[in-house]
């Protein structure tokens, strides 16, 4: 065997021996590198989670700020509503919510026991029409007659009772309002006789208050769903009809 060949064989044996003795990467080193790679991956995931948590906290704080601003706006609106004075009708009218009414004495409008307007009453009714057109242009107008509880004497041949008289007086005022420019399709007329007094009929002063015609402005979309609070008192009947006092 030549010397060169002997040397070549010896070198190969030496390399094999070195490989067998651990000159390449050891298993522990490979395990450490794998663990380090996993640690780096977990740290990257942790950083991502921290970033997402920070965004979530920021979004939460912004939502809380918007909610606080909205609550403040609501509180301000409530305060403004509480401070805002209730809407008032024209002089001589009373109001409650969407309702308004004025009361005219029948002692001024009519002679005792009659349903024919006195000449001076027409000027007052013209004023009422002007007030309605200026202040309640979109509302229905109810015209209701009322009497005291005294029986009809002088003109008892004309009326069946106080209810009959009050209805005719209401219709007389209705017709006059129509002549003065009120559209009939936004008015109703009726009477309630002696049954809904504003005051006690035990005195002359009380009876005078009860002899009246009420002109009432109500929401125009059909009959109200709640009792009309004017004038005096009002309550729904069992059938749903409204009783005005």
- Exposure string over 172-196, b if 16+ CB within 10 A, otherwise e: bbbbbbeebebeeeebebebbbbeb
Note the pLDDT tens digit of each residue in 36-50: 888 888 888 888 888
Residues of the chain above pLDDT 90, percent: 51
- Candidates 4, 237, 199; CA nearest to 103 is 199
Report the pLDDT value the prediction gives residue 24, as an integer from 0 to 100.
Answer: 56
pLDDT for position 231: 54
Mean pLDDT of the chain: 82
Lowest mean pLDDT among 49-63, 74-88, 136-150, 231-245: 231-245
- List the single range of 13-22, 35-44, 221-230 with lowest mean pLDDT: 221-230
CA distance 225 to 216: 16
Asked whether the predicted pLDDT for residue 19 surpasses 60, the reply is no
Which pLDDT belongs to residue 240?
32
How far apart (Å, rounded) are the C-alpha atoms in residues 7 and 16? 14
pLDDT digits (tens, 9 = 90+) for 136-193: 999 999 999 999 999 999 999 999 999 999 999 999 999 999 999 999 999 999 999 9
- Give the pLDDT confidence score for residue 1 in this predicted structure: 55
Q: Is the pLDDT of residue 124 over 70?
A: yes
Three-state SS string across the chain, please? CCHHHHHHHHHHHHHHHHHHCCCCCCHHHHHHHHHHHHHHHHHHHHHHHHHHHHHHHHHHHHHHHHHHHHHHHHHHHHHHHHHCCCCCCCCCCEEECCEEEEEEEHHHHECCCCCCECHHHHHHHHHHHHHHHHHCCCCEEEEEEECCCCCCCCCCCCCCCHHHHHHHHHHHHHHHHHHCCCCHHHEEEEECCCCCCCCCCCCHHHHHHHCEEEEEEECCCCCCCCCCCCCCCEEECCCCCEEEC
- Average pLDDT of the residues in 190-212: 95
Condensed to tens digits (0 to 9), the pLDDT of residues 48-70 reads 888 888 888 988 888 888 888 87
The pLDDT, as a whole number, for residue 237 is 35
Predicted pLDDT at 86: 56
Task: Respond yes or no on whether the N-terminal peptide bond of residue 231 is cis (omega within 30° of 0).
Answer: yes
Give yes or no for a contact between 143 and 128, defined as CB atoms under 8 angstroms apart. Answer: no
Separation CA 210–CA 193 (nearest Å) = 9
State phi, psi for 140 to the nearest 5 degrees: -75, 150
Give the mean pLDDT of 89-113: 93
User: In terms of pLDDT, which residue wins out, 165 or 233?
Assistant: 165
Per-residue confidence (pLDDT) for residue 76, from 0 to 100:
80
Q: Hunting for tokens 């809407």 — which residue is that? A: 87
The mean pLDDT value for 25-41 works out to: 80
Q: What is the pLDDT of residue 245?
A: 37
């Amino acid at each position: 065997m030549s010397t060169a060949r002997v040397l070549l064989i010896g070198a190969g044996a030496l390399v094999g021996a070195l490989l067998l003795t651990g000159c390449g990467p050891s298993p522990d080193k490979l395990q450490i590198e794998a663990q380090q790679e996993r640690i780096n991956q977990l740290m990257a995931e942790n950083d991502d989670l921290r970033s997402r948590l920070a965004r979530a906290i920021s979004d939460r704080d912004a939502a809380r700020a918007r909610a606080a601003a909205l609550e403040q706006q609501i509180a301000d609106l409530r305060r403004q509503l509480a401070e805002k004075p209730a809407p008032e009708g024209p002089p001589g009218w009373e109001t409650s919510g969407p309702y308004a009414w004025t009361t005219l004495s029948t002692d001024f409008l009519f002679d005792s026991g009659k349903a024919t307007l006195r000449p001076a009453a027409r000027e007052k009714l013209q004023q009422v029409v002007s007030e309605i057109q200026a202040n309640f242009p979109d509302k229905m107008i109810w015209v209701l007659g009322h009497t005291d509880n005294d029986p009809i004497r002088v003109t008892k041949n004309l009326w069946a009772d106080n209810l009959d008289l009050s209805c005719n007086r209401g219709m007389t005022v209705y017709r006059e309002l129509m002549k003065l420019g009120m559209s009939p399709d936004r008015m109703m007329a009726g009477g309630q006789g002696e049954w809904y007094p504003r005051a006690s009929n035990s005195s002359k002063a009380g009876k005078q208050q009860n002899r009246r015609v009420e002109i009432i402005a109500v929401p125009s979309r059909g009959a109200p769903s709640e009792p009309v609070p004017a004038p005096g008192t009002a309550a729904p009947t069992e059938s749903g009809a409204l009783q005005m006092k």
